[in-house]
Amino acid sequence: MTPILECVPNFSEGRNPLIIQAITNEIESVEAVRLLNVDPGKATNRTVVTFVGPPEAVVEAAFLAIRKAGELIDMRQHTGEHPRMGATDVCPLIPVSGISMEETVRWAHILAERVGKELTLPVYLYEAAQTNKLRNNLSVIRAGEYEGFFEKIKTPEWKPDFGPEIFDEKRGATVIGARDFLIAYNVNLNTTSVRRANSVAFDVREAGRIKREGDPVSGEIVKDDKGQPIMVPGSLKSVKAIGWFIKEYGIAQISMNLTNISITPLHIAFDEVCRKAEARGIRVTGSELVGLIPLQSLIDAGKYFIKKQKRSAGVSEKELIRIAIITMGLNELAPFKPEERVIEYLLKEQDDEKRLRLSLNDFADEVASESPAPGGGSVAAYIGALGASLGAMVANLSAQKKDWESFGDWAEKATGYKKELLSLVDADTKAFEGIMEARSLPKTTESEKASRTVAIKKATMHAIEVPFQVMKVSLQSMDILKSMAIEGNPNSKSDAGVGAVCARGAVIGAYLNVCINAVGSESDKDIAAILSEGKKIQESAMAKEKEILKLINLITNT
């Protein structure tokens, strides 16, 4: 897997589009880097930029952007709601795929050293890139902000990790590190009071608030044996939060960083803020996502909120995302467009789902054309997806009248099968194209002939594995269809039957493609094993179809 890094630098400029454009132009000038998102904020006077690519290219783009920001942003003139200490305030590297955190740390050190040396800029390391645990927290490093750093940098404990020990009046300093994926998330309140917003923030953030005797605001601070203030932890782990007033919107917000979304996911943070705000007589009106979000975070949120209504979550990905958006009010302050904010959607190549984007009519026309692809393999995957979809439909209808949790689980599982089978529609066509590309390789020299033979063998195996996967998933979907024939809504049992016919057809159709692609390679041990297993899957699918149709009892002599 090609190693991919994400970089999310925060620049202290959110009002001048020409400066922002100049910085992002530097990023886009690096080949292999893909700019995913630019999110400026006027009130915070800060822009969050997200880009991805191979490590070396990402580090180069980050260096160029930091250099350009230092040239164009004058911190002596900067004002904004967000804490900051430099023109490039923070620049984290995040492993996306094919790269470990240890490797990401190494690239963060390379970038930090280069910035400190070549740009003569004070650089601090944070999170995983910082070995000194007393100064690996961003908020601790940034304490005192730009104005306080002129003196702070002179103290031994705040000597920069790289670069000069003199604070740069125009550019400030920067923080570079390596971290896991972080969601920057603001929750909107129906108040303008920063004090009340901070009260809610202290209620939820992991660090909590200082313990006081009597009045929680003005009471005497309670200290431990060493004279340090005792903290009362907040209710959410791996969450940082503050309250602030956003003049641009005329509201106060809880501004949060969710630093480990496996511990505290987006929907739990939103719900908890709602509870704590209501306890203080404050109402949450919506929320705002800063930057990008992983697809699974929105899907999990959609499932969480739909299940709170005691409804089945076995609906489409699109519907789950819609529910997440409207429930959390992500479009209150500005339109929330998933295609522009979800990482996986932005990384997806246009050709990844070329056939799935076609209308039913256009897909049929393409199948009927003179081109050999899409052909039987793609059609088999598609009818398998239709079979799984019918299983989900019967489960969802049944969930409205029976045990919603059990039927909801079936619907979710069927929807998962449907999604995988749909992805195999285009995968089959690409696999066929891979064989054609391998066969077209040059074969003049002995070396070229050997390389071509290896490429053909590899492409052939892939072209066998794709329809074989269609067979396996389609057979698995028949277990749900059988359950729906037995326990589902009686008025929909014919739909379960049609689903079984589709699934059986998908298995047989996919097996035909396995066999045709294996012609001439039957002696290969791995391919022979797939052919043998495929035959068993086909027999099982045919038997299950008969069993399901008999259970439905609508067709005689079945």
Active site residues: 82, 428
Give me 31's structure tokens: 């080949």
The helix or strand, by DSSP H or E, that contains position 399, with its residue range, turns out to be helix 376-399
166 backbone φψ class: left, alpha, beta (φ>0; ψ -120 to 50): beta
Q: What angle do CA 224, 225, 227 make, to 5 degrees?
A: 65
Short-list 403, 407, 465, 461, CA closest to 435: 461
- DSSP code per residue over 513-535: HHHHHHTT-TTSHHHHHHHHHHH
Give me 392's structure tokens: 């989900």
Contact 396, 314 (CB under 8 A): yes
Token look-up 């660090």 returns 207
Token look-up 């969930």 returns 399
| Beta partners for residue 177, in sequence order | 92, 126
For 317, 445, 491, 518, the CA distances from 440, given in Å and listed in that order, are 39, 14, 54, 19
3-class SS letters over 2-21: CCEEEECCEECCCCCHHHHH
DSSP state of 489: -
